[in-house]
Amino acid sequence: MPDSHYLLIIAGMGLVTYIPRWAPVFFLTRKPMPDWLVRWLALIPAAILSALLAPALVVTDEPRTLDLTRPELLVAVPTFLFALKTRSLGGTVCVGMALFWLAGKML
């Protein structure tokens, strides 16, 4: 592919990726947001994290179907309990990786 065409593609991709990242922190940080919006936004992290996580545990890739026997789910349960108990980010990442590696060896 010609370089100029490629550049056009990635410049366009960069722009449409940057704008949604940029507009809220640029425009919403000037005056206090209404109370209801702050309350709603306070729930967005839990909502986004759960929405990113749940399908990664129980939905297969292409074609997407529900599968409750994935090793990801099996490993996620003790990883979740470890996180709940220790509240340690580094520890959870290490334990999760170790368990997933073990699961890969055994399953």
Partner 1 sequence: MRKQRLRSHTAHPIGRGAAAAWPICLGYIPIGLAFGVLAQKSGLSLFQIGSMSLLVFAGSAQFIAVSMIDAGASAAAIVATTFMVNLRHLLMSSSLAVYLMGKHRALLSVFAYGITDESYAVNLARFRAGSWTLGPALALNHTANAAWLLSTVAGGFGGRFIPAGAFGIDFALTAMFICLLVFQLRDLRSVVTAAVAGSAAVVLSILIPGNLYIVLAAVVAATAGVAVGRPAGRRKDDAR
Site for partner 1, residues 39 to 68, rule: CB under 8 A: 39-59, 64-66
For residue 1, give the DSSP letter.
-
**Separation between Cα atoms, residue 17 and residue 81, nearest integer Å:** 35
Least separation in angstroms between CB 69 and partner 1: 15
Task: List Cα–Cα distances, 31 to 23, 39, 40, 81, 106, in angstroms.
Answer: 14, 16, 17, 40, 55
Task: Look up tokens 């309990």; give the residue.
Answer: 81
| Cα–Cα dist 62/42, whole Å | 33
Q: Could you say which residues in the range 3-22 bind partner 1, by CB under 8 A?
A: 3, 5-18, 20-22
- Using CA atoms, how far apart are residues 80 and 87, in angstroms rounded to an integer? 10
2 touching partner 1, by CB under 8 A: no
Q: Is 100 in the site for partner 1 (CB under 8 A)?
A: yes
User: Which x/- pattern over 19-38 shows residues binding partner 1 (rule: CB under 8 A)?
Assistant: -xxxxxxx-xxx-xx-xx-x
**How many residues contact partner 1, by CB under 8 A?**
78
Residues 63-92 within binding reach of partner 1 (CB under 8 A):
64-66, 72, 75-76, 79-80, 83-84, 86-90, 92
Shortest Cβ distance from residue 93 to partner 1 (Å)?
5
